[in-house]
Structure 1
Amino acid sequence: MIIGVDVGTSVTKASLLNRSGSALVTHSVSSTLSRLPGGRVEQDLDEVVDSVVRVVRAVSADAAAAGQPVEALAITGQGDGLWLRDHAGAQVGPALSWLDARSADVLARWDADGVQRRVYQLTGSGMFPGSAGPLLAHLAEHEPERLRRASVAGYCVDAIVQRFTGEITVDASDASLPFLDVPSRTYSAEALDACGLTPYRGLLAEPAPAGKLFALDTASAAALDLPSGLPVSAGPFDLPACAFGSGIDEVGDGTLVIGTTLGCQVLRDEVSIDAGGEAAGMWLATPYQQRYLRVMPAMVGTANLDWVLRTVGARLDELEALLQASEPGAGGVSALSFLSGSGERAPFVEPRARGQFTGLSLETEPADLVRAMCEAVAYAARHNLESAGLTGAVSACGGGARSAAWSQIFADVLGKPLHVPHEEGVGARGAAMTAWDALGEPIDRQEWAAQRRTVRPHPSAVEFYERGYRDYLASIERVRPVWQRGAQ
Structure 2
Amino acid sequence: MALDDAPFDGHSDGRLDGRFDGPFAVCVDAGTTVIKAVVFDAAGREVVVCRRETVVDHPRRDRAEQDMAAVWGAVAAAVHEAVAAAPGPVRLVALTAQGDGAWLVDRRGRPVRPAVLWNDARAADVVREWRAAGVLARAYRKNGSLTNAGLPNAILRRLAVEEPDALRAAHAVLTCGGWLFLRLTGVLGIEVSEASAPWLDIGSRHYSDDLLAAYGLVEHRRLLPPLLSGADQVGELTHEAAAELGLPAGTPVVLAPYDVVATALGTGTTVAGQATCVLGTTLCTEVLVDAPDTAGEPSGLTLAFGPWRPVLRAFPTLAGTGVLDWTVELLGLRDHGELSALAAGSAPGADGLRLLPYLSPAGERAPFLDPAASGLVTGLLFAHRREHLARAVLEGLAHVIRDCLDAAPHRPVELALCGGGAASELWCQLIADVTGVPAVTTEDSQVGAKGALLFALTALGDHQDLGAAAAALVRRDRRLVPAPGAREFHDREHAEFLATRALVASRWKGWRADV
Q: Is TM-score (shorter-chain normalized) higher than 0.5?
A: yes
1:190 correspondence with 2:210 = yes
Aligned to 1:43: 66
User: Which runs of 5 or more structure 2 residues have no equivalent in the other structure?
Assistant: 1-23
The aligned residue for residue 297 of structure 1 is: 316
Which residue in the other structure is 2:258 paired with?
A: 237
Provide the C-alpha distance between the structure 2 equivalents of 1:249 and 1:451, rounded to a whole number of angstroms: 14
Indicate yes or no: 2:95 matched with 1:75.
yes
Query: What code does the residue aligned with 1:122 have?
Result: K
Query: Which of these residues, 393, 400, 403, is aligned with residue 421 of structure 2?
Result: 400
Deviation at 1:163, TM superposition (A): 1.1
AA aligned opposite 1:244: L
Match of 1:334 in 2: 354
Is residue 260 of structure 1 aligned with residue 281 of structure 2? yes
Rounded Cα–Cα distance in structure 1 between residues aligned with 2:128 and 2:264: 31
Match for residue 480 of structure 2?
455
TM-superposition CA deviations, 1:295-335 (whole Å, max 9, x none)? 11111210011111111112213123212111110121001
CA contact (8 A) 2:454 2:469 kept: no
Paired amino acid for 1:223: E
Distance in 1 of aligned mates of 2:301 and 2:461: 29
What's the offset of the Cα at 1:461? 3.0
Indicate conservation of the 8 Å contact 1:88/1:166, yes or no.
Answer: no
Match of 2:367 in 1: 347
- Identify the range of structure 1 (464-473 vs 2-11) with the bigger mean alpha-carbon deviation: 464-473
Distance 1:146 1:288 in 2: 34
Aligned residue identity for 1:88: R
Compared CA separation, residues 308 and 486, structure 1 to 2 (3 A): closer
Q: CA deviation at 1:484?
A: 5.2
* Aligned twin of 1:15: 38
The answer to whether the aligner puts 1:474 opposite 2:499 as a matched pair is yes
SS at match of 1:233: strand
Q: Aligned partners of 2:349 and 2:245: how far apart in 1? A: 50
2: CA distance, partners of 1:340 / 1:62: 38
1:25 aligned counterpart, secondary structure: strand
Query: What is the rounded CA distance, in whole Å, between the counterparts of 2:391 and 2:473 in structure 1?
Result: 32
Q: Secondary structure at the match of 1:168?
A: coil
Which of these residues, 155, 169, 175, is aligned with residue 189 of structure 2?
169
SS of the residue 1:352 aligns to: coil
CA distance in 1, matches of 2:154, 2:474: 38
| In 1, Cα distance between equivalents of 2:123 and 2:388 | 36
Match status 1:31 vs 2:50? no
Contact (CA 8 Å) 1:183, 1:285: kept in 2 or not? no
For 1:301, give the aligned amino acid: G
Deviation digits for residues 85-134 of structure 1, max 9, x if unmatched?
A: 11222111110011100111111111111112221122111111111111
Once structures 1 and 2 are overlaid, which stretch shifts more, 382-391 or 92-101?
382-391
- Out of 149, 167, 178, the position equivalent to 2:169 is 149
The 1-side partners of 2:105 and 2:387 are apart by 46
Following TM superposition, by how much is the alpha carbon of 1:462 offset from its aligned partner in structure 2, in angstroms?
A: 3.2
CA distance in 2, matches of 1:91, 1:452: 42
Moved more, 148-157 or 411-420: 411-420
Partner of 2:455: 434
Which residue of the partner structure matches residue 9 of structure 2? Answer: none
Q: Distance in 2 between matches of 1:478 and 1:167?
A: 50
CA distance in 2, matches of 1:265, 1:43: 27
Partner of 2:18: none
Q: What secondary structure is seen at the aligned counterpart in 2 of 1:33?
A: coil
- The amino acid across from 2:122 in the alignment is R
Identity of aligned residues (%): 38
Amino acid at match of 1:329: G
SS state at 2:265 partner: helix
- CA deviations over 1:167-186 (Å, ceiling 9, x no partner): 11110000011111123221
Cα distance in 1 between the residues matched to 2:481 and 2:472? 21
User: What is the DSSP-based 3-state SS (H/G/I as helix, E as strand, rest coil) of the residue aligned with 1:37?
Assistant: coil
**What is the one-letter code of the residue matched to 1:331?**
D
Q: Which runs of 4+ in 1 moved over 4 A?
A: 484-488
Aligned partner letter, 1:427: G
> Residue 356 of structure 1 aligns with which residue?
376
Provide the C-alpha distance between the structure 2 equivalents of 1:244 and 1:232, rounded to a whole number of angstroms.
18
Deviation at 1:459, TM superposition (A): 1.4
> 1:203-222 to 2 correspondence within 5 Å?
203-211=223-231, 212-222=233-243
- Which residue in 1 is equivalent to 2:433? 412
Residues 333 and 359 in structure 1, CA contact (< 8 A), matched pair in contact too: yes
- Aligned counterparts of 2:455 and 2:194: Cα–Cα separation in 1: 15
Q: 1:368-418 deviations in whole A, cap 9, x for unaligned?
A: 111101111111011112212233321010011111111111111111221
Structure 1 gaps, min length 5 = none
Q: 1:38, CA displacement in angstroms?
A: 4.5
Q: After the TM superposition, which of the residue ranges 281-290 and 92-101 deviates more from structure 2?
A: 281-290
Question: Aligned partners of 2:197, 2:341: CA distance in 1, in Å?
Answer: 40
2:344 aligned with 1:321: no
1:160 corresponds to 2:180: yes
- For 2:488 and 2:38, the matched residues in 1 are separated by 41
